[in-house]
């Protein structure tokens, strides 16, 4: 064996060893990846990561193992995030269930002496004595106007009543009014207009309105609430009110119900005019006249009496109309369609005009001989006026006025002025339809039949042969108008709830928002034994 052959053998053996090493490494990598996938399929991602990391330590430069390690770590992180999200969701659901089962305890505002509940039994006590008892019991301070009568007897018996309501009823029975100074101090004064101006605090409020007019809102507030000072700014649609805070709050409730958007409806109208015409003319046109004209004896000379006395058949010229045959038939069918859509507000009139404006010239003459002409335009065609009324149950009442006009003819006066003869058809009705309901109005029919004949007297009256001695013309025209209307509600007013539509404003002399329901305080209180002192409280 020569040296060259030995070199080739060594090279081949080296390649074989290299390939074997490579195959062994691939087999090792494949085994580690396959074992890690089996562990991951069993949910043991942590063990699969350890198996891959141990294989990567042996071969840190292997790209396949690095990719497998990165994917496994990502799967572990995703699983941990999912577990955290599920745990948070469970905790949130548990907390919501606990809050739903937990009784709701409303926070009570800091109570004052006016909120303290007491039982009272005053028989013939004076206002001063009652206020002294309330001062000792509830810690209230009272300030009296100089015109308040303090020695007028008062009798009242109630149980479990807040001091605030007890004091309000006592003052109401004595025609007195109060003004809170602070939480524990009350000013008492006579309920008269002059004293109210002196003691009642006033508030100025501007109401910016969206739908209702400022003038209407001011009239409503002045009538219902007897508001003191009102200014309606129609330009900016604002109502400025100056009154007590209680009256301002009641005005807010009242305007909240009235300042609502106007209902609107879309009216889909289809107008169809069908016009059919028929004409038939059949027969023979016989000459209806014979005109004889004498001829002069000399060419170009006038006709003399001598020529008339010597008239013969050769000296007469005859003029006879032509003879002809009439055979004509015409049929016409015309459809005029209009499909307007008009949007209008509640109780507003919408007008539709489809046609022409025809000038009508009139002549006026004065005693001085001055003649003047004036032009007036007439609307000829189709005119439709609709006025919808929208109800809260989504029904629409529509008042319809329909007029169809055309020029029937032209009339000429002695002075030469022309005037038009107008033919009209009118229909007026009121419909009540639901939203989207269609209604068709038909029956406006105009039917004209005309027949005329031109016959030879006597011969034209024969039963069958009469058609040979005359011509007959039959003409018919029929017009029908059909109206279809469909309302589509775009916006409607919602019926307000009873809590918005109704609220108490107190007596007319001192309007204020309603007090709490006190029907359960009507239980009678037994008379104390022995009789109590002029004033008592428990």
Which one, of 523, 435, 441, 411, lies nearest residue 119 by Cα? 523
> Which tokens belong to 83?
């577990």
Which one, of 243, 239, 242, lies nearest residue 255 by Cα? 239
pLDDT-based confidence at residue 23 (cuts at 50, 70, 90): very low
- Give the least confident one: 89-98, 286-295, 368-377, 390-399: 286-295
> Which tokens belong to 19?
């390939």
Q: What percent of the chain has a predicted confidence (pLDDT) above 90?
A: 12
Q: Is the pLDDT of residue 197 over 60?
A: yes
- Give the least confident one: 18-22, 42-46, 400-404: 18-22
Rounded CA-CA distance 405/378 in Å is 10
Q: Is the pLDDT of residue 527 over 50?
A: no
Yes or no: say if 103 and 507 are a contact pair by the CB < 8 Å rule. no
pLDDT at residue number 298: 64
Q: Is the pLDDT of residue 434 over 70?
A: yes
Yes or no: say if 194 and 166 are a contact pair by the CB < 8 Å rule. no
Per-residue pLDDT tens for 160-196? 888 888 888 888 888 888 888 888 888 999 988 888 8
Q: Is the pLDDT of residue 150 over 70?
A: yes
Strand, helix or coil for residue 55: helix
Give this prediction's pTM: 0.51
pLDDT at residue number 241: 93
Per-residue pLDDT, averaged over 137-142, amounts to 87
Q: How far are the Cα atoms of 52, 58, 182, 352 from residue 71, in angstroms, in the given order? A: 11, 19, 72, 75
- Phi, psi of 87, deg, nearest 5: -65, -40
Mean pLDDT estimate for the chain: 78
pLDDT at residue number 16: 45
Which one, of 485, 400, 392, 393, lies nearest residue 437 by Cα? 485
pLDDT at residue number 406: 80
Which of residues 417 and 129 earns the better pLDDT score? 129
pLDDT-based confidence at residue 233 (cuts at 50, 70, 90): very high
Which of residues 248 and 523 earns the better pLDDT score? 248
Per-residue pLDDT tens for 264-312? 999 998 888 777 888 777 777 777 776 777 776 666 667 676 666 767 7
pLDDT-based confidence at residue 109 (cuts at 50, 70, 90): low
Per-residue pLDDT, averaged over 61-80, amounts to 80
pLDDT-based confidence at residue 5 (cuts at 50, 70, 90): low
Strand, helix or coil for residue 66: helix
Q: Is the pLDDT of residue 437 over 50?
A: yes
Q: Is the pLDDT of residue 133 over 90?
A: no
- Give the least confident one: 65-79, 82-96, 156-170, 406-420: 406-420
pLDDT at residue number 336: 65
Which of residues 538 and 163 earns the better pLDDT score? 163
pLDDT at residue number 297: 66
Rounded CA-CA distance 411/245 in Å is 74
Residue 85: other Cβ atoms inside 10 A: 10
pLDDT at residue number 301: 67
Which of residues 263 and 114 earns the better pLDDT score? 263
Yes or no: say if 260 and 493 are a contact pair by the CB < 8 Å rule. yes
Per-residue pLDDT tens for 454-486? 777 777 777 777 767 777 778 888 887 888 899
Strand, helix or coil for residue 255: helix
**Radius of gyration, CA atoms only, the chain:** 54
- Phi, psi of 11, deg, nearest 5: -65, -45
Q: Is the pLDDT of residue 208 over 90?
A: yes
pLDDT at residue number 516: 42
Per-residue pLDDT tens for 315-339? 777 776 776 777 777 787 767 667 8
Residue whose entry in the numeric block shows the structure tokens 């490579």? 22
**C-alpha angle 373-376-381 in degrees, rounded to nearest 5:** 145
Per-residue pLDDT, averaged over 6-19, amounts to 50
Residue whose entry in the numeric block shows the structure tokens 């002496």? 113
- Highest mean pLDDT out of 21-25, 59-63, 90-94, 234-238: 234-238
Residue whose entry in the numeric block shows the structure tokens 């369609």? 337
Per-residue pLDDT, averaged over 342-352, amounts to 90
- Phi, psi of 430, deg, nearest 5: -125, 125
H helices of 299-421, where?
305-309
Yes or no: say if 455 and 444 are a contact pair by the CB < 8 Å rule. no
């Amino acid at each position: 064996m020569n040296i060259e052959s030995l070199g080739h053998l060594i090279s081949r053996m080296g390649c074989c060893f290299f390939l074997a090493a490579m195959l062994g490494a691939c087999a090792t990598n494949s085994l580690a990846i396959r074992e890690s996938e089996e562990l991951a399929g069993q949910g043991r991602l942590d063990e699969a990561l350890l198996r891959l990391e141990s294989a990567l330590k042996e071969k840190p430069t292997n790209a396949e193992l690095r990719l497998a390690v990165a994917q496994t770590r990502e799967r572990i992180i995703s699983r941990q995030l999912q577990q955290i999200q599920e745990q948070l969701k469970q905790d949130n659901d548990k907390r919501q269930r606990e809050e739903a089962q937990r009784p709701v305890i409303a926070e009570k505002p800091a109570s004052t002496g006016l909120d303290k509940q007491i039982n009272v039994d005053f028989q013939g006590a004076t206002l001063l004595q009652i206020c002294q008892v309330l001062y000792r019991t509830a810690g209230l301070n009272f300030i009296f106007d100089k015109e308040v009568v303090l020695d007028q007897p008062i009798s009242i018996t109630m149980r479990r009543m807040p001091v605030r309501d007890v004091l309000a009823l006592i003052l109401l029975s004595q025609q007195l009014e109060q003004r809170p100074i602070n939480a524990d101090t009350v000013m008492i004064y006579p309920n008269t207009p002059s004293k109210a101006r002196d003691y009642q605090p006033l508030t100025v409020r501007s109401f910016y309105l969206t739908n209702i007019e400022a003038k209407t809102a001011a009239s409503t507030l002045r009538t219902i609430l007897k508001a003191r000072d009102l200014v309606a700014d129609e330009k900016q649609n604002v109502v400025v009110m100056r009154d007590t805070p209680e009256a301002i709050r009641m005005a807010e409730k009242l305007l909240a119900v009235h300042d609502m958007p106007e209902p609107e409806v879309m009216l889909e109208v289809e107008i169809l005019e069908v016009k059919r015409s028929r004409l038939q003319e059949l027969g023979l046109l016989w000459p209806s006249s014979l005109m004889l004209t004498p001829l002069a004896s000399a060419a170009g000379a006038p006709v003399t009496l001598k020529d008339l006395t010597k008239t013969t058949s050769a000296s007469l010229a005859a003029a006879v109309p032509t003879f002809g045959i009439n055979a004509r038939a015409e049929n016409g069918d015309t459809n005029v369609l209009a499909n307007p859509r008009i949007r209008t507000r509640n109780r507003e009139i919408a007008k539709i005009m489809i046609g022409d404006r025809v000038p009508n010239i009139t002549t006026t003459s004065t005693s001085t001989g001055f003649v003047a002409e004036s032009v007036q335009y007439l609307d000829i065609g189709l005119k439709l006026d609709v006025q919808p009324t929208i109800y809260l149950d989504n029904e629409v009442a529509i008042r319809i006025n329909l007029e169809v006009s055309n020029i029937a003819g032209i009339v000429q006066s002695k002075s030469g002025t022309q005037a038009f003869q107008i033919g009209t058809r009118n229909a007026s009705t009121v419909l009540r339809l639901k939203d989207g309901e269609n209604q068709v109005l038909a029956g406006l029919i105009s039917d004209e039949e005309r027949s005329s004949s031109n016959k030879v007297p006597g011969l034209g009256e024969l039963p069958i042969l009469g058609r040979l001695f005359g011509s007959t013309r039959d003409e018919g025209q029929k017009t029908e108008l059909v109206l279809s209307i469909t309302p589509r509600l775009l916006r409607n007013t919602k019926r307000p709830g009873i809590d918005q539509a109704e609220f108490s404003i107190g007596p007319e002399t001192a309007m204020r928002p309603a007090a709490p329901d006190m029907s359960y305080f009507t239980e009678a209180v037994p008379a104390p034994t022995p009789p109590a002192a002029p004033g008592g409280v428990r």
